Amino acid sequence: AQKVTQAQTEISVVEKEDVTLDCVYETRDTTYYLFWYKQPPSGELVFLIRRNSFDEQNEISGRYSWNFQKSTSSFNFTITASQVVDSAVYFCALTTAYDGTASKLTFGTGTRLQVTL
């Protein structure tokens, strides 16, 4: 069985602060994929990043960075110099798909990030 845990229910920061959203996952598969999705107040789910289990390189995209550590089964997401537009619910998700198959995403419970002026 797969499980994704996002222990932080809600985080409030002041604009320009850095913030890290935690994600811990469980799976018995050796090949898996991790994702972060953003759900702004308008409700849609926006894909942010995918990480493969065999690639532990961290990734940076503008103000966003992701830290994948297999040893601790964690895939944390950091927003540097947060902005009000970053206010949203962020979901971490996991799948153990194989090429050529459809495979469900297992989502965490989400972390609501509130960025204020």
Partner 1 sequence: EPEVTQTPSHQVTQMGQEVILRCVPISNHLYFYWYRQILGQKVEFLVSFYNNEISEKSEIFDDQFSVERPDGSNFTLKIRSTKLEDSAMYFCASQRKGAFEQYFGPGTRLTVT
The residues binding partner 1 (CB under 8 A) are 33, 35, 37, 42-47, 50, 91, 93, 95, 97, 99-110
In the complex, the smallest distance separating the C-beta of residue 97 from partner 1, rounded to whole angstroms, is 5
In the complex, the smallest distance separating the C-beta of residue 117 from partner 1, rounded to whole angstroms, is 25
Give the SS3 label for residue 71. helix
Nearer residue to partner 1 within complex by CB, 14 or 40: 40
Give the SS3 label for residue 97. coil
Q: From CA 117, how far away is CA 104, in angstroms rounded?
A: 38
Sequence-ordered list of residues with C-beta below 8 angstroms from that of 101, at least 6 positions apart, any chain: none
In the complex, the smallest distance separating the C-beta of residue 31 from partner 1, rounded to whole angstroms, is 10
